[in-house]
Structure 1
Amino acid sequence: MGKRRGFRLFPRERWRALRVEKSVRRVLPRSLLGRSLLIVLFPLLITQGIALELYYGNFLRVVSRRLTSSVTAEIVLSLNALERLKNPADKEWFVAQAREQLQLIEIWRPGEKLSRVGSTHVLGPMDDDLVRSLSQAISYPFFISWRHFHHTVRIYIQLPDGVLEIDTPRKRLDMGQIWLFVAWTVGSTLLLFTIAGLFMRNQVRAIRQLALAAEQFGMGRDIGPIRPAGAQEVRKAAVAFNRMQDRITRFVGQRTGVLAGVSHDLRTPLTRLRLSLAMMPREGAVCAEVMTQDLNEMIGDIAEMEHMIDSYLAFARGEGSESVQRVEVQPFLEDVVSAARRANVHVRAVVVEPGLFAHMRPDAMRRALGNLFDNARRHGASVVLSARAVAGGVSIVVDDNGPGIPPERRAKVLRAFESGHGGGTGLGLTIARDIVRAHGGEMELESAPEGGLRVRLYLPD
């Protein structure tokens, strides 16, 4: 069989790795909260496990071996002394001394036999350590009962003629702190995990609110600005979403206003064309002269309509398709000024800080500055252009010596179809402002030093 075209063969190890990866994905939680809690839980368990192993494997075992060795040495001493002392009175004296000085309670049970050997088991290494130590120290069978009494460990030693019972305090062998350490380990893990869960839940709630707001806004519902909450990054995302929502709402509103105003603005030149055609003389000697005048007027109306349509298209099209570039400001402005002078704009001076760069869409900014120059030319004003670096960006200022715009009308003329002194489509300043805002900046109208209009453009880094 030939190999199928387009079918890629994987090694067996690759398929096995893919199956393991799919199995892990099925087990892992799908939500951000669940995965975040796993990220918190795994380091906690590993850290506590390492701490427990260090305590249990090193400190506890070392201390346990030392304690069991001490008790074993005392038991061996007791066995050796009881074997050498033949007098019953001497044996009783030694047993009493062992009770008082060594805390060993010894009871001799002659003739008895052990039923089992070894040890019962408890938590910790002390049971195994004591069995190991006694096995190395004595050759007799023995049995250790850790559960016979709560505070006592009983050791049965099988001697040739009976059983020796030895009771020793449990505290000499058992380190009760292990329970406290285990409780602290488990309790601290649960406490930290609970705190982390509550904290992560608040963070995830803020992300869910942001996702819900984006979903509702995408469906065209007016939800208003959302309240920033959660971590700093989530708050920044919420603030950015509010700004985006405001810009989109403003964008849609302006484009809707353009569509509503197109029919109104185009109706006037169309009406003049219709009247001119209706009143055009059909016969007579003056027909050619009158027709020539009417045709010139109609050509002017058509040119006006073309200018309006170009402005509407520029406003509705936006400038979002052009990529942002790092542009040197001085040659860029000199190029813009050269084009403006060819269009009969009087630019008196250009003042730019040397070595100044800005991030911009060059064609869009040419359109914005061209609209500002065109406004100045239409009002018979000359222009002074300047640019300098400011905190966080670049400031470009266009000053003219025209009639200016009163402060109370500056906010109004930035709306679509609003003209400062009549004439034009009322879109020049609006388009320029939208272009600057699309760069993340802002445009402000002020009074120029010569009494005209100052337009300040701010472009962020």
Structure 2
Amino acid sequence: MRILPKSAFGQTVLLIGLLLLINQVVSYLSVTYYFIRPTSAQINSLLATQVQSMLAQDILQSPVSERRAYTETTGISVFNTEQAMQRGLVQTTGYQFMSNQVSAQLAQKVEVRISTPAPEQNSKRPYLVWISLSSHPDTWISIPLSGWAEANISPLTVYLMVIGSLSVLGGWLFVRRLNRPLHALQSAALQVGKGQTPAPLKEQGSTELIEVTRAFNRMNQGIAQLEHDRTLMTAGISHDLRTPLTRIRLATEMLPPESDWVREGIVHDIEDMNAIIDQFIDYARMDTVGQQELTDLNQLIAEQAQVRHIEETHQIELKLTPLPQIPLGRVAIKRVLDNLIENAFRYGSDKITVTSFFDQKHKRIFCKVRDFGPGIPEAALANMFQPFTQADTARGSLGSGLGLAITRRIINSHNGEISLRNHPQQGLIAEFWLPALFS
């Protein structure tokens, strides 16, 4: 499980969060050591001094009338345990650190408790500190503490939380504004990688991002111009080549009957050259996908397998599992399947296997075409999808070397991937996957 984010956005937010956490911890420690602790020590010292004064005046052993007069003068009351229970001792909270400090100053064991006013009572009513001395076990001293409630640190907590939240929100907005041009640049780069020409990006963000966006727009325009020039050149060359080929074919028709074998050979070569020219034109086209519609890939596989049963020696074994329907360019995917099956028969073996399955975890549809031929050298596998590339030594040298390049362009335009690998035992596996996107 990944804990640290890899994106710049996640790392920036994490950094801001850590800095704010450290800031809050330091703030809490500072408030505790420099404000709360000295105040608490001062209060405990005052409480101990007050109790010492009462012990010196022997208030705890004096008659009730003197205690009442003392209470009216100072607000400090003395009760026995039963009376203290009736006046709220049960709802008090003990504080051990206060007990320890007061005990140290009075040189005897002291128990300190604090009672808070009930919510329905007047909020201005002071807190009461209850003190019990080990020398007077059945006596409780009640000392009012005015101003204790005003020392509540909850506003500080709220303040720190608000500051932290606003800082994280501000950092999030800043990083989001910074990353928006990067996301647009990434999307446009993916489109260029698929052979598309996206619209020029809006130059926004920091100075560095504006410069990168401007350079990308220039590169995109240059690539579009190169593609346009290549298409025009390919179309022009193809047109110029077809004219002499047509004349050659007409000339062969004028050969004498005894030269039929020569005529057939020339016509066969002309058809091969026309097929190669068609591949040049198809590779130069940018609209290789066409209109997409919801389709079951198994249906296209079955149709292409039926079409390829033109020779008795060719056998296609289908291992198809149920697949969900996905948006496909039917003509384009049929071309992919036809090219892979044709290559498997031409360069591999007379028996091939076509497999399909659905990867539920990654939401991908897979299709594999396997032959039982000699395979391709491992060093040549990585370059087989490059235009005009053939593994001559292992698979023969027929064709123009554009079939797999066109196939990869079609698969990439469907946001999928295609690869070749040798089977561990024998043969070659051509595998492609397409994303199964559900709305």
TM-score by length of 1: 0.46
TM-score by length of 2: 0.48
